[in-house]
Amino acid sequence: MDRNQVIGFSLLAALLIGYMMYSQHEQKVYFEKKQQDSIAYAKAHPAPIIDSSKLAATAAVADTVAADSATLALRALQPAAFNGTEQKVTLENSKLSIEFTTHGAHPIGARLKDYKTYHGAPLNLFEGNANVLSAVLPIDNNRSTASLYFSPVTRQEPNGDKTIDFVADLGGGKKVDIIYTLPADDYMMRCQVVVTGMPVASLPLTWNTTVLHTEKDIVNERMATQVYYQNKDEEHDYYTVTAEEKSIDNKSNAPHWLGIRKQYFSTALIADDGFSKMDSKFSYKSDDTVYVAVNHAEMTLPLKAVGNTYAANLRWYIGPNDYRILKAYKIGLHEMVPLGVGIMAFVKYINQFAIIPIFYFFASFVNNYAVIILLMTIFIRLILSFFTYKSYLSSAKMRVLKPELDEIREQCGDDQQKFGMEQMKLYRSAGVNPLGGCLPMLFQLPILLSIYYIFPSFIEFRQKSFLWADDLSTYDSILNFGFNIPFYGDHISLFTLLMTASSLFLALYNRNMTPQDPNNPALKYMPYVFPIILMGVFNKMAAALTFYYTFSNLLSIAQQFIIQKYFINEKAIHAQLQENKNKPVVQSKWQAKLEEMQKMQADRAKTQPKKK
């Protein structure tokens, strides 16, 4: 590089450095001036206060929009059943209105059109999203139908039935249909589960049910709330709801149906081909005033294969505990109406073949249910009048023999065994059966027990009024205390008081007509103590029941008065007994056995050393 080139480059470098220094100076002057102008403008126009939380919210919205965009893009690749919007669909007939959700394709509410709650509101047997019927499908790591969105297709059948076909398209030729059909005039809804493109022999099934409070007293309602189930071999069982969770585990015998029974209404799930196993848990919270109880059941539903589809048929009863309606289905649902349980199970046959037919016979031409109770009471008392007469006749025989018994008692003194033997000789010679007054009454006891079970279970009495009782299916209350009296309750039932008073009067009347044993003074007080004890028990019972017992007591008093006055002649009876003494004594096996036992006791007493 020569001298001229060096001088040229040096001049260019000097010019470049000078230009850069000049530019920086001009920028500094410009920004200083701009800052002064901005400060002056800010003083003249103050800026608004900026909320930093709004800035954060704006940023969050932007993030959400971005996330939603990503989710929508992902959902666009999923089957239609995996995302959607929940809708409510209603299926109804003349008796039921059932609300379904498309998110899970199951009922979430059921209203019975012909009934009201005790307080007059529409009667919903169950209501809310806590009620779920779902099955687990063999897709997407065992996905539940409760998480799927279904498309409902409704149609009207030619016979008047209404059908909703809930369809869930799972993609790849897989889908599930849950089809509900409600007959035009019935409480039994049909349900069919159809799985397409997924080979499966059975489906795990979950059924959650809430039992709503609909009656007057939730405590009584809970006491009558039970879970019933019947196996395919027609063996059935039940258990009552408790505050502690109670469960049944039925894996050894295929269950046919499972029912949740409340006081006057039930819901039951029936598998036409049975469930292969079942586990049900039932409980309630004592402070809950909305739900009587809740039930969680897990079952396994077998499916039948037809080509590429696998299906099972279910039925769902949602209705009243009407004995005739339940029995008409011929699958044992009528067992949910308690007609006699435990050691009293034998009375259910009396109810089935006597009390229920008599009740419906009178109901066929009488609309007033209080009048039906009156007619039933009179009819039953007439049927039992033969046993009543025999009982009173035996009491009359005992009365006319009382003077002779008093003489024997004086002769025997404190020797009770000798007195017993002489007493039996007198009865045998006079032809008197000492149990003649008890046995006829024992024949009447099953009838009383039958009424005890069936009357509180008759839904026909529900919300039927009579006199001061506004509902014969529950207790009549003429005074509420506002507090609870132990062993009695928080109210006064007038029919219960009348029942107790008539029972005491009947006991007093019988005492005057029946000879008393002076060696057992406590026995003469028992007829008075028993009605007092029962007063607390029956204070919460159905008014129909206490009204029946009250009227039955009044009829017994009238019947006894008529028999004593017009059918029993004590002079003629005494003459007949004296005549019997002259006849040869024919000893029965029972009398011979009793006399032998008395002799053995007497011999044993003689051989025992006397106490000093």
Query: What pLDDT score was predicted for residue 575?
Result: 78
Q: Are strands 122-127 and 106-116 parallel, antiparallel or unpaired?
A: antiparallel
Helix axes 543-562, 369-383, angle to 10 degrees: 40
| CA–CA dist 249, 400 (Å, integer) | 63
Print the SS3 string covering 489-536. Answer: EEEECHHHHHHHHHHHHHHHHHHHHCCCCCCCHHHHCHHHHHHHHHHH
Helix axes 369-383, 385-400, angle to 10 degrees: 50
329 CB-contact burial (10 Å; exposed 0-12 / middle 13-18 / buried 19+): middle
**DSSP of 139-198:** STTTEEGGGSB-EEEEEE-TTS-EEEEEEEEEETTEEEEEEEEE-TT-SEEEEEEEEES-
Query: What pLDDT score was predicted for residue 611?
Result: 52
Which of the residues in the chain have pLDDT under 70? Answer: 1-78, 243-253, 431, 434-441, 512-525, 580, 583-599, 601-612
Here the tokens at position 83 are 């995302």
| CA–CA dist 102, 87 (Å, integer) | 5
Those residues whose C-beta lies under 8 Å from the C-beta of residue 104, and which sit 6 or more positions away, are 132, 134, 145, 146, 147, 148, 150
| CA–CA dist 329, 347 (Å, integer) | 23
Here the tokens at position 269 are 């799930």
| CA–CA dist 39, 349 (Å, integer) | 103
From the list 330, 358, 387, the residue with the least C-alpha distance to 455 is 358
How do residues 499-517 score in pLDDT, each as one tens digit? 999 999 888 877 766 655 5
Query: What pLDDT score was predicted for residue 276?
Result: 86
How do residues 51-85 score in pLDDT, each as one tens digit? 444 434 444 444 454 445 544 444 555 677 888 89
What is the CATH T-level fold of the domain 84-337, as seen in this structure? Beta-galactosidase; Chain A, domain 5 (2.70.98)
**DSSP of 329-357:** T-SSGGGGS-S--GGGTTHHHHIIIIIHH
Q: Are strands 188-196 and 174-182 parallel, antiparallel or unpaired?
A: antiparallel
Is 306 within 8 Å of 193 (Cβ atoms)?
Answer: no
Query: What pLDDT score was predicted for residue 57?
Result: 46
Report pTM: 0.77
Amino acid in position 420: G
Query: Of how many residues is the chain composed?
Result: 612
Q: Are strands 143-144 and 151-156 parallel, antiparallel or unpaired?
A: unpaired
